[in-house]
Amino acid sequence: MRIKKKTLALLTAVASLAAGLTAVATAGAPSANAVPATIPLTITNNSGRGDAIYIYNLGTELSTGRQGWADAGGGFHPWPAGGNPPTPAPDASIAGPANGQSKTIQMPKFSGRIYFSYGQKLVFKLTTGGLVQPAVQNPSDPNRNILFSWSEYTLNDSGVWLNTTHVDMVSVPYSVGVRKGDGSTITTGKLKPGGLNNFYNALRGQPGGWANLIHNGPNGQPLRALAPLYGVETGALPASVMDDYVNRVWSKYSAQDLTVTPFSNQPNLKYFGRVSGGVMNFRNGSGQIVTSFQKPNASSIFGCHQLLDAPNDQVRGPISRTLCAGYNRSTLIVNPNQPDANNANFYKDVVTNHYSRKIHAQMVDGKAYGFAFDDVGAHEALVHDGNPQQAYVSLDTFN
């Protein structure tokens, strides 16, 4: 099938919401210490590879809402107008560090992505709607055979939120960190020794088409594993891959309530879901129906969208995020109180998001963004500080 690419305006909004960055950042009060206009970001190349590294800092300038890119000094450059067909974007690349070396650039107050590619520059184009992001699930994408990945971040007056992400794909081993205002450093996102190969091997050994998520490069070696959403969209995974679990959930909650407590800081705010008339209706404590969900399919579950859409509101969105986490982790049947705080229950059903299960298993701290709302219960790979002194990205070994 032909897959449409997303513009930066849409994708940045989706990525930020998926990573939990914008929602958290806007909810936080401004830092007691003034966050400067830029903070240093040190990229260290521990990859063990001889490839040239190219860095890109792309996103939304928070003070104006303009889309663009930042140079090594943190200076903002808005994208020029694009065209139809798309026109080449300006070269926004920054020469990265050689193996065993580091390079420090400046991060401005952005919500966006830091891309890093190995051996080749990425191809970016501009449409009338904005920047076209790489969409390597599309076989005709010019970046399809380039090894690359990205980190997502928001830096604003309340501090920095910086994460690793596997919401779209697993490809390059990397980790992130931040030096906090108190001088301590926190890190996350590091794979266990051999973790990337172990992940690929685990996918190969998983029946049901999961091995089809792996995309090999021209040399026959894996470049990446695409997330299961793209597997369903491209036919690599069967569209029915989650049906058995969904059917069992639907049956269970036709006879009893599913209780959702969407906010950890509001334990008395609960919603009660019951399947009736082909939909799952959620009622508040007064018995009023506040939102309803159709029976979700695999695309809705893996993408946390469509039939599990999560608007940025205080009712449907938080309930949907919780449901999405429960379906991906397969905890809805074993625990009628969601979200499930016990990660020992995660991914235990034979029908589950095996991609997310396997990448979590290979992380040193067990945390990863294996799907869009993996931040439900704080199981995501995210660092944050309200008074950041420095940020870090480590390009880690492929061994």
Nearest residue to 18 (alpha-carbon basis) of 309, 346, 254, 397: 309
Predicted confidence at residue 32, as pLDDT, reads: 57
Element (H, E) at 325: helix 316-329
Work out the average pLDDT over 115-137: 96
pLDDT tops 80 at residue 15: no
The two tokens of residue 309 are 């859409």
As a whole-number percent, the residues of the chain with pLDDT over 90 amount to 91
Residue 293 near residue 280, CB atoms below 8 Å: yes
Catalytic: which of 61, 71, 91, 168?
168
- Identify the residue whose tokens are 């690793």: 164
- Identify the residue whose tokens are 């690929």: 200
Predicted confidence at residue 34, as pLDDT, reads: 84
Residue 313: active-site member: no
pLDDT tops 70 at residue 394: yes
330/332 Cα distance (integer angstroms)? 6
Predicted confidence at residue 226, as pLDDT, reads: 98
Residue 168: active-site member: yes
pLDDT tops 60 at residue 17: no
pLDDT tens digits along 140-187: 999 999 999 999 999 999 999 999 999 999 999 999 999 999 999 999
pLDDT tens digits along 182-205: 999 999 999 999 999 999 999 999
Work out the average pLDDT over 92-116: 98
Predicted confidence at residue 31, as pLDDT, reads: 52
| Structural domains present in the chain | 8-205+364-395 (2.60.110.10), 243-350 (3.30.920.50)
Work out the average pLDDT over 8-27: 37
Q: For residue 155, what are the β-bridge partners?
A: 160
245/298 Cα distance (integer angstroms)? 10
Work out the average pLDDT over 268-293: 97
Predicted confidence at residue 30, as pLDDT, reads: 55
pTM to 2 decimal places: 0.92
Backbone angles phi, psi at 190, to 5 degrees: -85, 135
User: What is the band of 399 on the pLDDT scale with cuts at 50, 70, 90?
Assistant: confident
Catalytic: which of 61, 71, 91, 152?
152
pLDDT tops 50 at residue 220: yes
Work out the average pLDDT over 222-235: 97
pLDDT tens digits along 342-383: 899 999 999 999 999 999 999 999 999 999 999 999 999 999
- Identify the residue whose tokens are 């309530």: 257
Residue 153 near residue 110, CB atoms below 8 Å: yes
